Amino acid sequence: MNNGTTADVQTLQAELTRGRLEVRIEQTDVDPNSLFGFAERCNPKRAFLFVSKVLGRHIPARPSVISENFDKLAAQIPEDLPGPVLVMGMAETAVGLGAGVHRALSRTRTDSVYIVSTRHPVGTEIFARFEEEHSHASAHLVHLPVDLNAREMMLNARSLVMVDDEASTGRTFVNLHKSLVDAGLTQIERVVTATLTDWSSGAVIKSMGATAVQVSLLEGSYAFHTNHDAKLPEMPKVGTVAAGEWPIHAERDWGRLGVRGDKDTLGLDLVVSPGERVLVVGNSEFVWRPFLLAERLERAGADVHFSSTTRSPIALGHAIKHALSFSDSYGLAIPNFLYNVAPGQFDRVLICSETPSDAVDKTLIQALNAEVIVDAS
């Protein structure tokens, strides 16, 4: 990543195999280099990726740092939104970010409900479907809440807060909003997009008008100059949207079916030593309860970092220094990855799973000498 400044606008760029990515930082209160880095997708549809350093997905981060950014982002959401407020986190990268923003928002509002889009159906009624067109896994599902109170709040929502780690074009937000309205959320008066970084140049506001607001920790624009001589990568088949060999239990839901509060139930008997270097690893979309565990262990005095496995195929280089590849924990037979975690880097590694421990690939467990913590709530 190269830096440069012109007046109040900071410019960054990265030379990727398939072209040069240039960004202009137009508004931010934080150091861009502490917030994100660049990487290259193994995806013929889009070459580049903005990699968050404060999300705990592709780069391990301290829970306290992650939580601080939850609160910073939530603080920008307008206070006058009419309720009920439906907060939606985007699978898979932003399901934890959305939950954290919802937690912060819930401190001042009692009329909000949180739900995530998903690629893992739980066997209950599907409310809507939409597409993330550039993604390695483009299809998203939105379940209808089973709990009657959560369902009523969702169906009667007057404000919609859509949370993602970044917005490149804003098209996915527009697609989600349309799918929800078409499915029956016809009372929505206000729309907010909340992202760590927003490169979309106000695309959602331009599409939806004065009812929409875009908030972020950093706002800018980008240009990608394609190297037309570069060979397109072959993307692994990771777009599966299905129940796998290891099904998910709806009664243990943490967000796919709508939640209003937090359940810190994972690994309650775990004991850590002061200063012990611990990595807590969320698994695919199962990240919020693992994150709550990571927060608890950090409060107990351990030196904790949080990260997550992902189905996103990313090339080594730039912000991606190390990669582990293994099979998913749902029995879908698709590759998963853990980035920027090397064997021996931590004293203790805790891999958290919403499926049984036998579903977690032994390759990952052995590589990190890890323990598996299963959600049995």
Q: Which residue, 100, 102, 137, 103, is CA-closest to 120?
A: 137
Identify the pLDDT of residue 132.
64
Identify the pLDDT of residue 133.
52
AA letter at 330: Y
What letter does residue 314 receive in the DSSP assignment?
A: B
On the CB side of 229, how many CA atoms lie within 13 Å of its CA?
0
In DSSP notation, 253-277 reads: -SSTT-BSS----TTTT----TT-E
Domain boundaries, the chain: 263-374
Q: How far apart are CA 52 and CA 69, in angstroms?
A: 11
Q: Which residue, 303, 301, 302, 326, is CA-closest to 313?
A: 326
Contacts of 13 (CB under 8 A, 6+ apart): 1, 2, 20, 21, 22, 23
Q: Which residue, 303, 347, 307, 348, is CA-closest to 324?
A: 307
338, 323 contact by CB (below 8 A): yes
Identify the pLDDT of residue 241.
86
Q: How far apart are CA 87 and CA 5, in angstroms?
A: 36
User: Rounded to a whole number, what is the largest CA-CA distance in the chain?
Assistant: 56
Identify the pLDDT of residue 134.
46
Identify the pLDDT of residue 75.
97
CATH ID of 263-374, from 3.90.550, 2.40.50, 3.30.70, 3.40.50? 3.40.50
Extended beta strands in 168-313, E state: 190-198, 212-226, 277-282, 303-308
pLDDT in tens, the chain (377 residues): 333 333 468 999 999 999 999 999 999 989 999 999 999 999 888 899 999 999 999 999 999 999 999 999 999 999 999 999 999 999 999 999 999 999 999 999 999 999 999 999 999 999 999 876 545 446 889 999 999 999 999 999 999 999 999 999 999 999 999 999 999 999 999 999 999 999 999 999 999 999 999 999 999 999 999 999 999 988 888 878 888 999 888 888 999 999 999 889 999 999 999 999 999 999 999 999 999 999 999 999 999 999 999 999 999 999 999 999 999 999 999 999 999 999 999 999 999 999 999 999 999 999 999 999 999 77
